Amino acid sequence: MQKKNLTGMVIATAIAAAFAAPAGAASNAEITARHFASLVSGPAPKTAELAMFFNNMPKGADLHHHYSGSIYAEQYLEWVDKLGYCVDKTTWIVQTDKAADRKNCATVAELEKDPLAYRSLMHKWSTMDFYNHSEDQLAPDLAFFTTFLRFDGVASTNGNDGQKRLKERAIAENVGYIETVFEIAPITFDAEFDGKLTDEAAFAAYLAKLEASPAFNKGIADYSAYVDSSSAGIDDENFTMRYQPFVLRFLSPSIVFSQMAAGFKIASQNPKVVSVNIVGAEHYPVSMRDYSLHMRMYKFLSAKYPNVKLSLHAGELALGQVPPEGLKFHIAEALDVAGARRIGHGMDIAHERQPLAILKKMREKNIPVEVNLTSNEFILGVKGEAHPVNIYRKYGVPFVLSSDDTGVSRNTLSNEYLLFASRYKTSYAEVKKLSYDSIRYGFVAEADKQRLLKQLDARFAKFESDVATSLK
Ligand SMILES: [Zn+2]
């Protein structure tokens, strides 16, 4: 390993030297910075050219990325076809039971011959056309969150194929590392403990019961084995992927705790698994009612597994979605109680009880926010100057740009950079820093992080050389 890393560093240094400017001349980085300034200045940003710029610019990592939400509907249909499944034409849910009545269930071949049905499926499996047609539709947040159950029948099949597609797409848009929220953490429901999980003594008693359960331990082993088998051939010199099991925050307390406990155990055993995230609509009644309880569960389990770092979805809320009191504590508790090292979304910061104290803490402890502009605009209806990204910037809180669910939102990470650059006054230096920060704040092991940063140096040297050459 040591030899490999050294070779990598020598190559990176040699590449950087090869692209260096002669003394006195503007460097490629300076030329690129001036070119970038010309694209974002003026009355309207040059978005088409910015798209070309960001599609090619090295973007380091995608740190807020959901595997099942990043697969496009077209890919899921390929798997539906391959597995001989069909899609119910009323609910648009994948039907995996081949013995069931298939009268209302379309095969992929039938869907492909029926443009209206095919497009209806796209509307239910993604946000396509949401704002440019008048078909009866759900509220945006429900349209988004209900997509997942429709393609659920195939989402956990073909994991290796899915990761390969995501890797190919990442490499095509110059991304070297993805930390993906991957597969639901194993579930245990326990009626005895469901109403009792109010304090640490109950957490400890339930944990002991879980640890003695063969089914619980099998779930952990199976999850870990699936990460290992589905990730075969994914990591190489140019690309790295790491995984976070997820807990569903709207399920009952015994399930949520069991998922968290399983997630911590998996992350402490499998080096490819780097965190335990909590997902699902934060404004649903159970998510709101149990939020503080969940943070205390995280605290309890973190004390047992102090080496597992946490990135938590927190404050993915907008004014009006819940009563104002509900906007006042989610980021604060994710930091102060659960001990989160990264905050996913952090959208309710302006409404929190002590926003300035939170911002100070995040700045001083170097805890970044994962900013997902497309997702926030669609699900929460928050964009432009209403988006808190400028609060985090102003108060010196680190942040990264990430994609959330590019399959559902039919987007790319490059387009998130485009949105950032076209909406907020920025510079090449800042977007380049965002790219580096996405590696710096990753939970990947330190040696891998250093390798990825070295690679990023070489990628930027090449990119800036290409830009400079194109302008000659
Ligand atoms: Zn997310």
* Bridge partners (DSSP) listed for residue 311: 342
Q: How far apart are CA 290 and CA 283, in angstroms?
A: 11
Q: How far is the CA of 271 from the centre of ligand 1 (A)?
A: 22
What is the maximal distance between C-alpha atoms in the chain?
76
* Ligand 1 midpoint to CA 37 (Å): 31
3-state secondary structure of 73: helix
**pLDDT confidence band for 12 (50 / 70 / 90):** low
| Residue 407 CB coordination number (10 Å) | 25
With beta carbons less than 8 A apart as the criterion, state whether 105 and 441 touch. no
C-beta neighbour count of 172 within 10 angstroms: 11
What's the average model confidence in pLDDT over 164-189?
Answer: 97
Q: What is the spatial distance between Cα 318 and Cα 50, in angstroms, rounded to a whole number? A: 29
Q: At residue 89, does pLDDT exceed 60?
A: yes
409 alpha carbon to ligand 1 midpoint, in Å?
12
For the chain, what's the residue count?
A: 472
Predicted confidence band of residue 1 (pLDDT cuts 50, 70, 90)? very low
Q: How far is the CA of 223 from the centre of ligand 1 (A)?
A: 20
CA of 304 to the centre of ligand 1 (A): 26
The SS3 call for residue 17 is helix
Structural contact between residues 53 and 36, judged by C-beta atoms closer than 8 angstroms: yes
Share of the chain above pLDDT 70, in %: 94
The values of phi and psi at residue 441, to 5°, are -95, 5
Going from the Cα of 64 to the center of ligand 1, the distance in angstroms, rounded, reads 6
Q: What is the SS3 assignment for 407?
A: helix
Quote the tokens at residue 129: 């056309």
Query: What is the sign, positive or negative, of the torsion defined by CA atoms of 164, 169, 175, 179?
Result: negative
CA of 277 to the centre of ligand 1 (A): 9
pLDDT surpassing 60 at residue 235: yes
Return the ∠ at Cα 461 (arms to 459 and 465), rounded to 5°: 115
CB 295 within 8 A of CB 283: no
Class of the 61-67+154-460 domain? alpha beta
From ligand 1's centre to the CA of 177, what distance in Å?
17
Q: What's the token pair of residue 257?
A: 């705790």
Q: Which two tokens stand for residue 399?
A: 């942040």
Distance 455 CA to ligand 1 centre (A): 27
Distance (angstroms) between ligand 1 centre and the Cα of 465 equals 35
With tokens 């008693």, the residue in question is 205
pLDDT digits 0-9 by tens, 112-157: 999 999 999 999 999 998 888 766 788 899 989 999 999 999 999 9
Tokens of 152: 């659920």
Q: What is the pLDDT of residue 16?
A: 56
Asked whether the beta carbons of 201 and 300 are under 8 A apart, the reply is: no
How far, in Å, is the centroid of ligand 1 from the Cα of 456? Answer: 25
Centre of ligand 1 from the C-alpha of residue 471, in Å:
38
- Say how many Å lie between the first and final Cα of the chain, rounded: 41
pLDDT tens-digit series, residues 412-440: 999 999 999 999 999 999 999 999 999 99
Spacing, Cα 173 to ligand 1 middle (Å): 20
Angle 413-423/47-56 helices, nearest 10 degrees?
140
Task: Kindly give the distance from the C-alpha atom of residue 403 to the centroid of ligand 1, in angstroms, as a whole number.
Answer: 8
Q: How far is the CA of 400 from the centre of ligand 1 (A)?
A: 13
Contact 248, 279 (CB under 8 A): yes
d(CA 376, CA 316): 8
Ligand 1 centre to CA of 419 (Å) is 18
The token pair that represents 135 in the structure block: 């078909």
Range 443-468 burial, b when 16+ CB lie within 10 A, else e? bbeeebbebbebbbbbbbbbbbbebb
* Separation of CA 405 and ligand 1 centre (Å): 7
Residue 123: CB atoms within 10 A of its CB come to 21
Q: What does the block give as tokens for 33? A: 């910075």
Residue 20 pLDDT: 60
Separation between Cα atoms, residue 67 and residue 180, nearest integer Å: 6
Residue 136 has what pLDDT?
A: 74
User: What distance in angstroms lies between residue 395's CA and the mean position of ligand 1's atoms?
Assistant: 24
What's the mean pLDDT when you consider all of the chain? 94
What are 260's two structure tokens? Answer: 């968290």
DSSP class per residue in 346-395: -TTGGGSSSHHHHHHHHHHHT--EEE-HHHIIIII---GGGSTHHHHHHT
The partner residues of 66 in beta bridges, in order of sequence, read 181
Whether the pLDDT of residue 467 is over 80: the answer is yes
Q: Considering the chain, what percentage of its residues have pLDDT values greater than 90? A: 89
CA of 276 to the centre of ligand 1 (A): 13
- Per-residue DSSP letters for 291-310? HHHHHHHHHHHHHH-TT---
Report how far ligand 1's centroid is from the alpha carbon of 355 (Å): 22
**pLDDT-derived band at 6, boundaries 50, 70, 90:** very low
Q: Where are the domains positioned within the chain?
A: 61-67+154-460, 73-144
**Distance from residue 205's CA to the centre of ligand 1 (Å):** 31
What pLDDT shows up at residue 4? 45
**CB neighbour list of residue 98: distance below 8 Å, 6 or more residues apart:** 84, 85
Percentages (nearest 5) of helix, strand, coil residues in the chain: 55, 10, 35
Q: How far is the CA of 237 from the centre of ligand 1 (A)?
A: 27
Instruction: State the distance from the centre of ligand 1 to the C-alpha of 354, rounded, in angstroms.
Output: 24
Q: For residue 190, what pLDDT is reported? A: 97
Residue 370's nearest CA partner among 407, 318, 316 is 316
pLDDT band at 2 (very low <50, low <70, confident <90, very high): very low
Measure 279 CA to ligand 1 centroid, in angstroms: 7
- Alpha carbon of 441 to ligand 1 centroid (Å): 16
Q: Report CA(404)–ligand 1 centroid distance (Å).
A: 5
SS3 state of residue 457: helix
**Ligand 1 centre distance from Cα of residue 311 (Å):** 10
Q: Which pTM value belongs to this model?
A: 0.93
Distance 297 CA to ligand 1 centre (A): 20
d(CA 74, CA 69) in angstroms, rounded, equals 12
Distance, CA 312 to ligand 1 centroid (Å)?
A: 9
- Are 444 and 62 in contact by the 8 Å Cβ rule? The answer is no
Task: Mention every residue, 6+ apart, whose C-beta is less than 8 A from residue 455.
Answer: 8, 12, 176, 238
Contacts of residue 332, Cβ cutoff 8 Å, sequence gap at least 6: 352, 353, 354, 357, 358
- 59: CA distance to ligand 1 center in Å? 19
pLDDT score of 137: 80
Confidence of residue 338 (pLDDT cuts 50, 70, 90): very high
Q: What is the 146 CA–ligand 1 centroid distance (Å)?
A: 14
